[in-house]
């Protein structure tokens, strides 16, 4: 229906003529746009370009609220400056890579400011708006299970409205953590049972996607929360880990998973080599050693691996050669050790400002684990970055159990 140009016109008209709830509309649209932003084909492919429009107009709209002042997004500015400078000096990719480097700060700028403004106006309404956004998005995805009028499967794995199953699982993973945080803040009218059922549905969605990374990361999040809140379970938990370690060493891991009946979901035959990712990692590491301190600029990880495949692997390259498949290797390729230190600086600052430290610890564990076999952290315009900023933005806002009025 005209792609991102038509969408941009409708968006601009709404901002010009709507008299109420502009900020809420912009906030919801921004989140949903990033949910759909990894569609490279199909009816939502226009979101690839439209997300830049929403981000740009969002910044312009927030100028009236002094978007740069008292904004926790400035904690990520150091990383964005390092990424931009390295990209400008060394990247072979030009303006697009520079935009992606700057977008780390720009996305944070919009997310943190919107959350701060909305929570200051009405904390309950904002939390319930987020729950509504998740409900609508995953509700439509659930509908597609029974009425698949769109192509919602990829190699037998459910991808829903996103471009790939791992992207869908990523959104479900972050939604699980954010719903846990909203429940912890106790600012909504929803009962604990509602959040429990919703998180159970998200866990089921992750199983349908077949994403082992998201599955293990969500389990790590939940177990971390349980262990922190029930320290008496720490000793039995580590004892159980010891038993599992003995079991895994005494029998083939794939056989154990088959015995439990999870081989279909966990794809046991490719678990040991992370679906071939371990073949790529040594190649990426050799390239990292050529420029370990500063890297070669944002998006260089994908550029390098594509060049390597063209020279040494050929057109018949297996799927694992489509990326680096590790946030840590990708960050080192792109911004080096110095950039990684700047990235860690933001996380430390965000953690210190969090209101619920136990949930924050679990979130850090979840994100760090999810980065082992996916390169999500190294990209500013996928769902990982805005969802990560969204969690920290909510965490940084003081809890107010009263329903504030505008």
How is the chain split into domains, by residue range? Answer: 74-396
Window from 81-85, 239-243, 387-391 with minimum mean pLDDT? 239-243
| Cα–Cα distances in angstroms (integers) from residue 363 to residues 179, 210, 325, 327, in the given order | 12, 21, 21, 16
Number of neighbouring beta carbons within 10 Å of residue 238:
11
Backbone angles phi, psi at 157, to 5 degrees: -105, 140
pLDDT over 50 at 14, yes or no: yes
* Residue 405 confidence class, pLDDT cut points 50, 70, 90: very low
Rounded to two decimals, what is the model's pTM? 0.93
Q: Are 363 and 356 in contact (CB under 8 A)?
A: no
Beta bridge partners of 158: 153
Q: Are 138 and 201 in contact (CB under 8 A)?
A: yes
- List, for residues 32-54, the tens digit of each pLDDT value: 999 999 998 889 999 999 999 99
Rg (CA), the chain: 21
The 8 Å CB, 24+ separation contacts for 151-154 are: 151/42
Average pLDDT over residues 139-164: 92
Mean pLDDT of the chain: 90
pLDDT over 50 at 163, yes or no: yes
| Structure letter (DSSP) for residue 400 | -
* Residue 252 confidence class, pLDDT cut points 50, 70, 90: low
Predicted local distance difference test score (pLDDT) of residue 41: 87
What is d(CA 245, CA 265) in angstroms, rounded to the nearest whole number?
21
The answer for 154, left when phi > 0, alpha when psi is -120 to 50, beta otherwise, is beta
- List, for residues 172-213, the tens digit of each pLDDT value: 999 999 999 999 999 999 999 999 999 999 999 999 998 989
pLDDT over 80 at 241, yes or no: no
The residues, ordered by sequence, that sit 6+ positions from 317 with a Cβ below 8 Å of its Cβ are: 309
Q: Which residues of 29-49 are buried (b: 16+ CB within 10 A; e: fewer)?
A: bbbbbbbbbbbeeeebbbbbe
Predicted local distance difference test score (pLDDT) of residue 274: 60
Average pLDDT over residues 290-297: 97
Predicted local distance difference test score (pLDDT) of residue 58: 94
Window from 83-92, 155-164, 310-319 with minimum mean pLDDT? 310-319
pLDDT over 70 at 72, yes or no: yes
Per cent of the chain over pLDDT 70 is 89
Average pLDDT over residues 60-84: 96
C-alpha dihedral over 21, 139, 200, 327, to 10 degrees? Answer: -70
Q: Are 152 and 209 in contact (CB under 8 A)?
A: no
Average pLDDT over residues 50-77: 95
């Amino acid at each position: 229906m005209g792609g991102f140009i038509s969408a941009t016109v409708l968006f601009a008209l709404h901002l010009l003529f709507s008299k109420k709830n502009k900020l809420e509309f912009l906030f919801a649209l921004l989140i949903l746009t990033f949910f759909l932003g990894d569609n490279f084909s199909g009816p939502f492919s226009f979101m690839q370009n439209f997300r830049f429009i929403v981000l740009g107009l969002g910044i312009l709209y927030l100028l009236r609220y002094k978007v740069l002042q008292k904004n926790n997004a400035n904690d990520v500015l150091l990383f964005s400056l390092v990424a931009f400078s390295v990209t400008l000096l060394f990247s072979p990719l030009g303006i697009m890579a520079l935009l992606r480097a700057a977008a780390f700060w720009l996305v944070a700028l919009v997310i943190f400011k919107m959350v701060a403004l909305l929570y200051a106006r009405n904390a309950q309404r904002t939390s319930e708006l987020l729950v509504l956004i998740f409900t609508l998005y995953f509700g439509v995805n659930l509908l597609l299970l029974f009425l698949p009028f769109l192509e919602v499967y990829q190699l037998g794995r459910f991808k829903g409205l996103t471009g790939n199953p791992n992207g869908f699982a990523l959104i479900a993973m972050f939604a699980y953590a954010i719903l846990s945080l909203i429940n912890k803040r106790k600012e909504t009218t929803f009962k604990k049972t509602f959040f429990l059922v919703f998180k159970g549905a998200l866990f089921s969605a992750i199983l349908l996607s077949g994403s082992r990374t998201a599955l293990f990361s969500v389990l790590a999040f939940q177990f971390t929360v349980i262990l922190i809140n029930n320290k008496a379970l720490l000793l039995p938990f580590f004892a159980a880990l010891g038993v599992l370690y003995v079991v895994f060493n005494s029998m083939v891991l794939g056989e154990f998973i088959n015995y439990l009946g999870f081989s279909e979901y966990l794809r046991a035959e490719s678990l040991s080599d992370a679906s071939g990712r371990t073949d790529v990692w040594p190649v990426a590491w050799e390239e990292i050693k050529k420029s370990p301190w500063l890297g070669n600029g944002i998006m260089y990880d994908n550029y390098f691996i594509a060049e390597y495949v063209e020279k040494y692997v050929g057109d018949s390259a297996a799927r694992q050669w489509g990326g680096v498949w590790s946030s840590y290797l990708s960050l080192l390729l792109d911004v080096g050790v110095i950039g990684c230190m700047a990235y860690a600086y933001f996380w430390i600052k965000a953690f210190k400002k969090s209101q619920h430290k136990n949930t924050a610890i679990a979130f850090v564990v979840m994100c760090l684990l999810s980065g082992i076999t996916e390169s999500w952290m190294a990209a500013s315009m996928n769902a990982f970055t805005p969802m990560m900023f969204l969690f920290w933005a909510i965490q940084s806002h003081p809890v107010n159990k009263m329903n504030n009025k505008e």
